[in-house]
Amino acid sequence: MSDFDRARVLVVGDSGVGKTALTNLICKGAALSNPGWTVGCSVEVKLHEYLEGTANQRTFCIELWDIGGSHSHRNTRHVFYNVVNGIILVHDLSNRKSCLNLNRWLAEVTRTESGTGKFGTRSEATGAWEDGNISGSDIGQVDIPLLVIGTKMDAAKEKRGLPTHQKRSDIAEEFGVEEIHLSTGDTTGLAAGTSAATKLTRFFDKVIERQFYTNNKMRKNSTSNNCFPDRRRNDKLNVMADRTGLAPQL
């Protein structure tokens, strides 16, 4: 696995929306019954077949950086945003506010990724970005592949008694990106052949395309050496172990 070029996808959204459970489902195909909340960041990897079934098929390693969503860490988590090849925005279908907050998450990540402070200014006192939103035209300029995922379809159905899978979120509409609705406890939700699995595959293809095939040329970059980071990087991430006491899984 160590020979595969890799790309980094951030998984962001409010605390408790199900990012860790979702990341586990994507990378391991299994439900996670009782995830602890994430402090800092936890990393899982997934091998992805780029352009599967075509003559150009090739295996890449996707790193999913599952960022702890707790408000109390908002001033420090920008250290995880230095390299961003794609973003999965996660909201809880039974909690409307978590969906409304996705604009802020996008702003928080893309400000740093653009490296220009274009979407806001940093507070000199805390180093944190000032609050603010980002619009569809802005992200067009930032040019990062996006995917929106709504979790807890089961809870939303119970709460409202209505199917929620038809309605796309405002942010997916605004940015013209695909959206998946699922329950992270249902392992069939991302099973091969489902429309959700197809959307996820298309998203990962876009991430790879942007990272490695811009201008139809294989592009070398700083993150493409190795699927598993070197010891120095491991040490850095271990500092951010989650509250379960487990080191980030790399």
Which residue of 20, 94, 101, 169 would you call a contact of Mg ion, by CB under 5 A?
A: 20
**Residue 132 one-letter amino acid:** G
Q: Which is nearer to ligand GTP, 180 or 207 (CB)?
A: 180
Q: Which of 7, 8, 18, 178 binds ligand GTP (CB under 6 A)?
A: 18
One-letter amino acid at 40 equals G
Part of the chain binding ligand GTP (CB under 6 A), chosen from 14-22, 111-119, 191-199, 202-210? 14-22
Structure tokens given for 118: 């274009």
State the Cα–Cα distance between residues 202 and 209, nearest whole angstrom: 10
**Per rule CB under 6 A, is residue 104 in the interface with ligand GTP?**
no
DSSP 122: B
* Binding flags for ligand GTP, 169-198, as an x/- string (CB under 6 A): --------------xxx-------------
Using CB under 5 A as the binding rule, whether residue 38 contacts Mg ion is answered as yes
What are the helix (H) ranges across 161-230? Answer: 170-175, 195-212
CB 4 within 8 A of CB 47: yes
How far apart (Å, rounded) are the C-alpha atoms in residues 181 and 93?
A: 8
Q: Which stretch binds Mg ion (CB under 5 A): 20-28, 104-112, 157-165, 180-188?
A: 20-28
Q: Looking at 34-42, 44-52, 56-64, 143-151, which segment touches Mg ion (CB under 5 A)?
A: 34-42
Q: Which of 40, 69, 150, 248 binds ligand GTP (CB under 6 A)?
A: 69
> 3-state DSSP: the chain helix, strand, coil percent, rounded to 5?
35, 20, 45
Residues contributing to the site for Mg ion (CB under 5 A): 19-20, 38
